[in-house]
Structure 1
Amino acid sequence: MTIQTTTHLNFRGDARAALEFYQSVFGGHTVINTYADFGMPAELPGADKVVFGLVAAENGFRVMGYDIPGQSEGSIAGGGSTRRENNTTITDQALFVSIGCDSLDELQGYWDALSIGAIVVEPLAASAWSAGFGMLTDRFGVTWSVSVTAANTAE
């Protein structure tokens, strides 16, 4: 038996833009269904917002997104901020999205794409536990923790 977990992010009106951005970063395909697709009259406010969204790539990347009904443009629900202070990560966010890659070269490509319009919390660099680790909060308010997988740090 196998199990798969997929991060499901709740947005305040930006789910479509975020999912399209993540697909441009990680590849794969995007599925976006709106409230109108599921029966909400198209003339009602919010009918064009995302009720079900998914990005799935052959490299294993998966993320889902949703627009909270009645919420306006803004950062991810439950957002907040994350910063470094005195060599410590300080956050009031409920979660981070973590990705791991086999090589620093592969990770660097994702980092470069995710960092467009982002706030870098910790630059991508070697750390005590990884050949490459970094943290940023993207333009949608999602904080990403990225690293080269532990199995390959000794190479």
Structure 2
Amino acid sequence: MSLNTTTHLNFRGNARAALSFYQSVFGGDLTVVTYKDAHSVTDPAEADQVMWGQTVANSGFRVMAYDVPSARPWDQGTAPFFVSVRSDSTDEISALWEKLAVGSTVIQPLAKSGWAPLYGMLKDKFGVTWVLDVAVPYKA
């Protein structure tokens, strides 16, 4: 038996745009099911919003998202979570950073740190905070 976890992001009306952007950064396949597709429309204005969606890449990257219906409470919060992307390749992390940084607010520029060859943090144009770093073995 195997088990994996997937980050599931909640949005209010822009889940499709976010998933498409992440696909442009990480590659892979985009799947979107709208409330209309699922025959679960409660507000006609939200029929084409994402009830369930995901971007999955061959690299192992996977993220899910949906649009929280207006009838449900939703608050993105200040820093409720970070999405961490790690690789053993500085080239891969640098390339992903360049794409993800478009339209973002850089919190910590991608650079060498005391614990990693590269580390950086940014908040993308959808309000999601990303941490990218090059993973190295931890030596206690």
**1:17 has 2:17 as partner:** yes
Query: Unaligned regions of 5+ residues in structure 1, if any?
Result: 81-92
1:13-37: per-residue Cα shift (whole Å, max 9, x none)? 1100000000000000000000000
Q: 1:129 to 1:43 in 2, by over 3 A?
A: closer
Secondary structure, counterpart of 2:37 in structure 1 = helix
**1:68 has 2:54 as partner:** no
**1:103 has 2:112 as partner:** no
Give the match for residue 79 of structure 1.
77
Give the match for residue 102 of structure 2.
116
In structure 2, C-alpha distance between the alignment counterparts of 1:77 and 1:14, rounded to whole Å: 14
Q: Is the 8 A contact 1:32 1:52 kept in 2?
A: yes
In structure 2, C-alpha distance between the alignment counterparts of 1:32 and 1:139, rounded to whole Å: 20
Query: Which aligned runs of 4 or more in structure 1 are off by greater than 4 angstroms?
Result: none
Percent identity at matched positions? 49
TM-score, length-scaled by structure 1: 0.82
1:72-131: per-residue Cα shift (whole Å, max 9, x none)? xxxx94232xxxxxxxxxxxx110000001111110110000000000000000111100
Aligned residues: 136
Give the match for residue 36 of structure 1.
36
In structure 2, C-alpha distance between the alignment counterparts of 1:12 and 1:40, rounded to whole Å: 17
Give the match for residue 135 of structure 1.
121
Secondary structure, counterpart of 1:150 in structure 2 = coil
Which amino acid is 2:49 matched to?
Answer: K
